[in-house]
Amino acid sequence: MEWFYKIRERDQEVFMHLKRELERQRTGLEMIPSENFTSLAVMQALGSIFTNKYSEGYPGKRYYGGNEFVDMVEGLAVSRAKRLFNVPHANVQPYSGSPANLAVYLALCKPGDTIMGQNLTDGGHLTHGWKTSVTGQLFRSVPYHVTKEGIINIEEAKQLADENKPRLIWIGSTAYPRRLPFREFAEIAEGCGAYLAADISHISGLVIGGAHESPVAYADIVTTTTHKTLRGPRGAIIMATDKGLRKDPELGEKIDKTIFPGMQGGPHDHVTAAIAIALEEASKPDFIEYAVQIVKNSKALAKGLMEKGVNLVTGGSDNHLILADLTNMGAGMGLFAQEALDAAGITVNKNTIPGEPFSPFYPSGIRLGTPAITTRGMKEPEMLVISGFIAGALQEIKGYSMPNSKEERQPYIRGFKSYIQGNERLRSIRSSVSELCSRFPLYPDLEA
Ligand SMILES: *Cc1c(COP(=O)(O)O)cnc(C)c1O
């Protein structure tokens, strides 16, 4: 199937980059835990005529004509989301995860209200009240942390909640390798009268597949992106639970009004169509297998890495994600590890670790995950092989350490990059990676 021929005819420059990106995705190991490979059906919806339409409002209540089919598609997406997550209310219009979370604040809080979320450098998300996010500027943010073992500190969270009486508490993270304590946070929120919002952006696919507990019985509101383990297009869903509606019967309407007309104009109908398709795909038995395999793979990879001497925050993984702590190798090693792995064909991201000893921009860890490589069909034996690739690549950066002096860092990094480019071992890992990937073909039907 020649998929991109119209782009090739129309725009050679974009076409060239697209072709190279397809090759990059095919030949490398995509191990950023927030990324995945959608089905071709999801991609076709994104490239469909629904992109042409304006449909401000909600099904049956639009500000534009010609929405009879958009209404059907949005209705499908909403009813599938409600059924899959078992919630009475869902809004599928948020443009992405960050605006979805902002809508939750604006629906429930007034500027200056106190809110709580997991601290960014402890694994939380920017939108849970970090100081450089508007959520940390519009609201009085009281972050909770993880213990020195890396586990969410429930005692501290309870104490902070009792002292500060927040209006809204977030449970959910972006770099946390263990199970989220929904039940304990429900108790904390009930104890201080706060709304509890569970942001399951990273783990919603695991929740649907039964590989992580669902927050629906505990939280008032649930938000999720649709493009991470859920394996859909870039977008988000905001849900109100039965518990939330008992507390505030108007919760659903408040959320809907905040999204439109409060924050957004027309929904992205092509994305809505793709969300509907992704939710249908996620309702199939093979998606349960997929979710379970993501976790098996993450555990197998964690075990392989630890056996090869890589330290992991919390000493393992219960979900799709692993956080490696590289402080024993040198200072601010995250960037060096990310670059070396990139040269070896393995894409990960540098990440802060709990109690980050160096700097948020030159952090001491890397974050990796198994959702995308599990989509390719890889299983435990491949995880063992990959742990060998990663440990091998990390060997090659031994002896490097980020200078303390800020002036010395740029020249040091330049020197490091040229060392990496000439490194034979990394080149050889890269060809083994590429060979492994060729056994798990990605988008074999796509031709560029
Ligand atoms: C990814 C993520 C978001 C934000 O999603 P974007 O689509 O990047 O705006 C919000 N919360 C959590 C926990 C996330 O992991």
User: Using CA positions, which residue lies closest to atom 4 of ligand 1?
Assistant: 97
**CA pseudo-torsion sign 444, 374, 219, 191:** negative
Type of residue numbered 361: F
For residue 323, give the CATH number of its domain: 3.90.1150.10
Domain final residue, candidates 263, 282, 301: 282
Q: Domain for residue 166, yes or no?
A: yes
Q: State whether 244 and 318 are in the same domain.
A: no
Q: Domain for residue 37, yes or no?
A: no
**128 in contact with ligand 1, CB cutoff 6 A:** no
**127 in contact with ligand 1, CB cutoff 6 A:** yes
Q: State whether 292 and 274 are in the same domain.
A: no
**202 in contact with ligand 1, CB cutoff 6 A:** yes
Q: State whether 184 and 265 are in the same domain.
A: yes
Task: Please give, one letter per residue, the 3-state secondary structure of the chain.
Answer: CECCHHHHHHCHHHHHHHHHHHHHHHHCEECCCCCCCCCHHHHHHHCCHHHHCCCCEECCEECCCCCHHHHHHHHHHHHHHHHHHCCCEEECCCCCHHHHHHHHHHHHCCCCCEEECECHHHCCCHHHCCCCCHHHHCCEECCECECCCCCECHHHHHHHHHHHCCCEEEECCCCCCCCCCHHHHHHHHHHHCCEEEEECCCCHHHHHCCCCCCCCCCCCEEEEECCCCCCCCCCEEEEECHHHHHHCCCHHHHHHHHHHHHHCCCCCHHHHHHHHHHHHHHCCHHHHHHHHHHHHHHHHHHHHHHHCCCCEHHHCCCCCEEEEECCCCCCCCHHHHHHHHHHCCEECEEECCCCCCCCCCCCCEEEEECHHHHHCCCCHHHHHHHHHHHHHHHHCCCCCCCCCCHHHHHHHHHHHHHHHHCCHHHHHHHHHHHHHHHCCCCCCCCEC
Q: State whether 278 and 291 are in the same domain.
A: no
Asked if 89 and 251 touch (Cβ cutoff 8 Å), the reply is yes
CA angle 43, 47, 51 (to 5 degrees): 130
Closest approach atom of ligand 1 to CA 97: 5
Q: State whether 390 and 275 are in the same domain.
A: no
Q: Domain for residue 1, yes or no?
A: no
Q: State whether 156 and 236 are in the same domain.
A: yes
pLDDT digits (tens, 9 = 90+) for 50-78: 999 999 999 999 999 999 999 999 999 99
pLDDT, residue 21, reads 96
pLDDT, residue 3, reads 80
Task: Please tell me which residue in 8, 158, 179, 234 is annotated as part of the active site.
Answer: 234
Domain range for 256: 45-282
Task: Please tell me which residue in 27, 54, 303, 379 is annotated as part of the active site.
Answer: 54
Asked if 37 and 48 touch (Cβ cutoff 8 Å), the reply is no
For residue 241, give the CATH number of its domain: 3.40.640.10
Give φ, ψ of 94 to 5 degrees.
-55, 140
318 labelled catalytic: no
Asked if 171 and 200 touch (Cβ cutoff 8 Å), the reply is no
**pLDDT < 50 positions in the chain:** none
Q: State whether 139 and 100 are in the same domain.
A: yes
Q: Domain for residue 266, yes or no?
A: yes
Residue 141 pairs with which residues in a beta bridge?
A: 115
What's the rounded Cα separation, in Å, for the pair 297 and 211?
A: 12
Q: Which of 120, 127, 206, 212 to mutate to test the pocket of ligand 1 (most atoms within 8 A of CB)?
A: 127
**220 in contact with ligand 1, CB cutoff 6 A:** no
The two tokens of residue 234 are 């870039």
Q: State whether 206 and 158 are in the same domain.
A: yes
pLDDT, residue 1, reads 57
Closest approach atom of ligand 1 to CA 227: 7
Rg (CA), the chain: 22
Q: Domain for residue 3, yes or no?
A: no
Domain final residue, candidates 231, 253, 282: 282
- CA separation (Å) from 320 to 205, 283, 292, 364, 383? 10, 19, 10, 20, 13
419 labelled catalytic: no
246 labelled catalytic: no
144 labelled catalytic: no
Q: State whether 74 and 222 are in the same domain.
A: yes
228 labelled catalytic: yes
54 labelled catalytic: yes
Task: Please tell me which residue in 114, 121, 135, 225 is annotated as part of the active site.
Answer: 225
Q: State whether 92 and 206 are in the same domain.
A: yes
Q: Domain for residue 188, yes or no?
A: yes
Give the closest residue to 8 by CA, choosing from 18, 440, 432, 381: 18
Q: Which of 101, 201, 207, 237 to mutate to test the pocket of ligand 1 (most atoms within 8 A of CB)?
A: 201
Burial label for 361, CB within 10 Å (0-12, 13-18, 19+), is exposed
Q: State whether 390 and 357 are in the same domain.
A: yes
Domain final residue, candidates 253, 282, 311: 282
Q: State whether 197 and 340 are in the same domain.
A: no
Q: Domain for residue 21, yes or no?
A: no
Q: Which of 174, 206, 268 to mutate to test the pocket of ligand 1 (most atoms within 8 A of CB)?
A: 174
Residues constituting the chain = 448
The two tokens of residue 61 are 């209540």
Closest approach atom of ligand 1 to CA 199: 13
Quote the number of domains for the chain.
2
Q: Domain for residue 7, yes or no?
A: no
The two tokens of residue 53 are 């339409």
